């Protein structure tokens, strides 16, 4: 942009600003505009008031009032008995009505706010048409809702009381409004910002049953239940429906994370027809955050479910997903990284519609919550069955042996497979975790209080178990280091593509004499790979590491940040995070050292210099990838690489170059006995060499003709 352009733009701006300043309204004009607006608003109000004043007066007919009184007598509760006259009471969110003899009284909540006496709605004439009509509308709406809910109408209003059941592990709060568990607290675990883990509360979790007739739906969340204590460990939340009863019984046993939930009923066939064979069920939860490392916790939270007689599946952990299924389900779970709420049906759910929504970063709930989850389902129902449905609620930690034990604790005709709530990788890696890693970890953790030491000893044990399989490999790798100058000499003696086959033959012959293998540097890592992948899934899901400190690490299940920042850097923050983890850094440095040692034992190949940089780039990529993972995982990888390096140095002292050279000389004197594999390799090389010579001959003949 040149000087003239800038000057022109400044002049244009000055002209526009001057025009706006010269044409701005004066104070008198602004005041006149405001006065005109006020006059217009007053006129509109006057017009509205006039219309209301001349509106027709609404009223209830004598038949409407008589029907309302009959509804109150039929469905209301008896609140008093004075001189032979009974007083019935019926309430909902709109009205509180009392009927004493033939006298109807009470209060109404009218549209626009405020309350009026029922007397206002019963008037035939009135001086305040607006207030009267609103009162009539409120009373009609309340009467309609009472009739629609029938025997349930008496439970539409009440006092919300909370009943608590608890043992040494779990505390649950049950609300009379809806008769549902509204709060579950794990007493022996801490959240990152609280002394106890609160799985959910009344604002973040709700569930309800829906009873159907041929024309109506009764949702239990709309009614107030009466708590009936059944000892110290059980309570029945009951609805008395006038000759019929419907309730939910909760039982919490000592030393259990399991809450038995049973639907109990009496004479419900008087209300629910026998042709109704389903009872709907809905469950919603806004999943709370419990860990300091939110990103990884979010990645390990999802709706899990198990098909009856089938596999365990789950919705997407990283994106929004809706799913509808018609197959029967055994259990449904809102699963967090370390804790789960699981609802296990004694029979089965009749399919389900599921919705999982990730809370976006821009949302006000992002810092404290992970996902919005919802399940809609149904169950088999019979109004004559005293116990039409039974469940077990599990509110607890995702601990492998604890979840496994529930197959024996909960009566079921199939394996519940609750351990699938713990992501332990593909079948081969899951087998390594369940049969090797977890038993060793639990055994060591049983008598060693510090889990940093447990991981150290576990790494040593795994290395010792793998040592017999890797002995020859380490020996070969040590020999490769001594052979590096010989291989370099071969490469220099037979340079170029034309000598590639000769170079390969000479090199393979040298390896054969020394008893070495060019793949010795890769094989140790390949043998360890299944274990490395297994622990990759084990450590981030191991609740035993949660909150456990070691050296500078405060929590082995979270990143051990030694430096952090608040700025959100695009791409970098999404993968690397906004911190630096020390154990991950140590793992990276050790990985670079191991790469250098491995490459020193291999002959250099000047024709592929990019391969060398690629080898060094991989540890840097691991740094970016693992920086947000559990410190326990980076610590294990660091120890594993460190022990591998020490093994390499140890084998260097076991292998004598002088003895190796003598052995090579002896092997050279022996008659060469070719294996079938080597014979086939040499035949392939001979054929390739013949093809190359033929191509060169034809090329030279072509040049001669020209």
Report d(CA 139, CA 685) in Å as an integer.
99
- pLDDT exceeds 90 at position 383: yes
Which residue has 């497979």 as its token pair? 417
Give the pLDDT of residue 421. 95
Report d(CA 219, CA 238) in Å as an integer.
14
pLDDT tens track for 117-126: 988 888 888 8
**8 A C-beta contact, residue 301 and residue 372:** no
Percent of all residues in the chain with a pLDDT value above 70, rounded to a whole number: 72
Half-sphere exposure of 486 (CA within 13 A, CB side): 18
Rg of the chain over all Cα atoms, to the nearest angstrom: 39
If you average pLDDT over residues 15-19, what whole number do you get? Answer: 53
Calculate the alpha carbon distances from 330 to 393, 411, 504, 544 in Å: 12, 12, 61, 28
Q: Which residue has the higher pLDDT, 617 or 247?
A: 247
Give the pLDDT of residue 356. 96
Report d(CA 523, CA 476) in Å as an integer.
10
pLDDT band at 517 (very low <50, low <70, confident <90, very high): low
Give the pLDDT of residue 705. 54
Does residue 255 come out as left (phi exceeding 0), alpha (psi in the -120 to 50 range) or beta? left
- pLDDT exceeds 80 at position 410: no
pLDDT band at 290 (very low <50, low <70, confident <90, very high): very high
pLDDT tens track for 122-159: 888 887 888 888 888 888 888 888 888 888 988 998 88
- pLDDT exceeds 90 at position 433: yes
Helices (H), 364-450: 400-409, 427-432, 438-445
Q: Which helix (H) or strand (E) holds 612?
A: helix 609-626
pLDDT band at 86 (very low <50, low <70, confident <90, very high): confident
Q: Which helix (H) or strand (E) holds 453?
A: helix 451-493
> Considering the chain, what is the average pLDDT of its residues?
82
- pLDDT exceeds 90 at position 674: no
Report d(CA 195, CA 160) in Å as an integer.
27
**8 A C-beta contact, residue 596 and residue 646:** no
Q: How many CB atoms lie within 10 A of CB 688?
A: 13
If you average pLDDT over residues 343-371, what whole number do you get? Answer: 93
pLDDT tens track for 603-642: 555 545 556 667 777 778 888 888 888 889 999 999 988 9
Q: Which residue has the higher pLDDT, 178 or 700?
A: 178
If you average pLDDT over residues 487-516, what whole number do you get? Answer: 64
Give the pLDDT of residue 629. 85
Contacts with 405 (C-beta within 8 Å, 6 or more apart), sequence order:
none
pLDDT tens track for 167-178: 999 999 999 999
- pLDDT exceeds 90 at position 44: no
Token pair, residue 501, equals 């086959």
**8 A C-beta contact, residue 331 and residue 342:** yes
pLDDT band at 570 (very low <50, low <70, confident <90, very high): low
- pLDDT exceeds 90 at position 374: yes
pLDDT tens track for 201-240: 999 999 999 998 887 889 999 999 999 988 889 999 999 9
pLDDT band at 701 (very low <50, low <70, confident <90, very high): low
- pLDDT exceeds 90 at position 339: yes
- pLDDT exceeds 60 at position 677: no
Give the pLDDT of residue 680. 63
- pLDDT exceeds 60 at position 246: yes
Order of all β-strands in the sheet with 95-100: 77-82, 85-91, 95-100, 103-109, 115-117
If you average pLDDT over residues 421-426, what whole number do you get? Answer: 91
Token pair, residue 334, equals 């809102």
Half-sphere exposure of 195 (CA within 13 A, CB side): 0
Give the pLDDT of residue 293. 79
């Amino acid at each position: 942009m040149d000087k003239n352009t800038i000057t022109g733009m400044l002049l244009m701006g000055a002209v526009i600003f001057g025009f706006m300043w010269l044409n701005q309204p004066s104070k008198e004009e602004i005041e006149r505009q405001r006065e005109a607006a006020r006059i217009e608003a007053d006129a509109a109000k006057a017009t509205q008031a006039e219309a209301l004043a001349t509106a027709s007066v609404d009223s209830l007919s004598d038949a409407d009032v008589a029907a309302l009184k009959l509804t109150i007598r039929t469905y209301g509760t008896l609140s008093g008995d004075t001189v032979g006259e009974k007083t019935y009471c019926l309430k909902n969110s709109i009205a509180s009505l009392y009927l004493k003899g033939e006298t109807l009284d009470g209060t109404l909540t009218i549209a626009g706010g405020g309350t009026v006496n029922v007397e206002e709605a019963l008037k035939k004439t009135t001086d305040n048409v607006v207030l009267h009509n609103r009162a009539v509308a409120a009373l009609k709406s309340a009467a309609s809702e009472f009739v629609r809910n029938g025997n349930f109408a008496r439970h539409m209003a009440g006092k919300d009381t909370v009943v608590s059941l608890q043992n040494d592990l779990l505390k649950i709060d049950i609300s009379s409004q809806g008769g549902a568990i509204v709060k579950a607290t794990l007493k022996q675990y801490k959240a990152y910002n609280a002394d106890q883990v609160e799985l959910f509360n009344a604002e973040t979790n709700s569930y309800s049953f829906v009873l159907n007739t041929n024309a109506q739906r009764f949702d239990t969340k709309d009614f107030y239940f009466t708590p009936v204590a059944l000892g110290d460990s059980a309570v029945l939340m009951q609805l008395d429906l006038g000759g019929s009863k419907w309730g939910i019984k909760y039982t919490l046993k000592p030393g259990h994370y399991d809450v038995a939930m049973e639907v109990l009923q009496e004479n419900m066939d008087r209300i629910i027809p026998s042709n109704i064979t389903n009872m709907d069920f809905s469950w919603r939860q806004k999943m709370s955050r419990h860990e300091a490392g939110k990103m990884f916790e979010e990645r390990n939270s999802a709706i899990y479910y198990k098909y009856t007689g089938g596999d365990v599946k789950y919705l997407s952990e990283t994106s929004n997903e809706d799913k509808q299924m018609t197959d029967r389900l055994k259990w449904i779970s809102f699963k967090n990284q370390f804790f789960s709420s699981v609802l296990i049906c004694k029979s089965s759910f009749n399919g389900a519609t599921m919705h999982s929504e990730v809370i976006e970063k821009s949302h006000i709930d992002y810092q404290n919550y992970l996902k919005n989850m919802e399940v809609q389902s149904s169950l088999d129902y019979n109004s004559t069955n005293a116990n039409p449905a039974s469940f077990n609620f599990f509110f607890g930690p995702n601990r492998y042996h604890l979840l496994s034990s529930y197959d024996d604790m909960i009566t079921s005709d199939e394996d519940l497979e609750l351990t699938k709530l713990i992501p332990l990788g593909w079948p081969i890696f899951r087998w390594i975790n369940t049969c090797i890693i977890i038993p060793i970890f639990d055994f060591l953790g049983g008598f060693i209080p510090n889990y940093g030491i447990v991981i150290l000893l576990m790494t040593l044990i795994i290395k010792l178990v793998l040592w017999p399989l890797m002995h020859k490999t380490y020996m070969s790798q040590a020999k490769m280091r001594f052979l590096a100058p010989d291989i370099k000499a071969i490469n220099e003696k037979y340079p170029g593509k034309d000598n590639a086959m000769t170079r390969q033959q000479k090199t393979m012959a040298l390896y054969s004499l020394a008893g070495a293998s060019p793949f010795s540097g890769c094989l140790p890592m390949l043998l360890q790979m299944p274990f490395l992948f297994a622990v990759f899934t084990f450590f981030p899901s191991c609740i035993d590491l949660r909150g456990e400190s070691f050296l500078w690490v405060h929590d082995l299940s979270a990143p051990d940040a030694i430096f952090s920042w608040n700025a959100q850097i695009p791409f970098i923050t999404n993968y690397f995070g906004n911190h630096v983890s020390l154990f991950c850094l140590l793992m990276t440095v050790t990985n670079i050292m191991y790469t250098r040692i491995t490459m020193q034992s291999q002959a250099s190949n000047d024709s592929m210099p990019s391969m060398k940089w690629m080898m060094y780039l991989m540890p840097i990529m691991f740094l970016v990838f693992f920086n947000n993972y559990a410190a326990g995982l980076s610590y294990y990888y660091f120890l594993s690489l460190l022990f591998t390096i020490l093994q390499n140095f140890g084998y260097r002292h076991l292998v004598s170059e002088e003895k190796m050279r003598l052995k090579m000389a002896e092997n050279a004197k022996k008659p060469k006995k070719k294996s079938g594999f080597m014979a086939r390799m040499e035949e392939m090389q001979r054929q390739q060499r013949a093809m190359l010579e033929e191509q060169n001959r034809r090329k030279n003949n072509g040049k001669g003709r020209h």
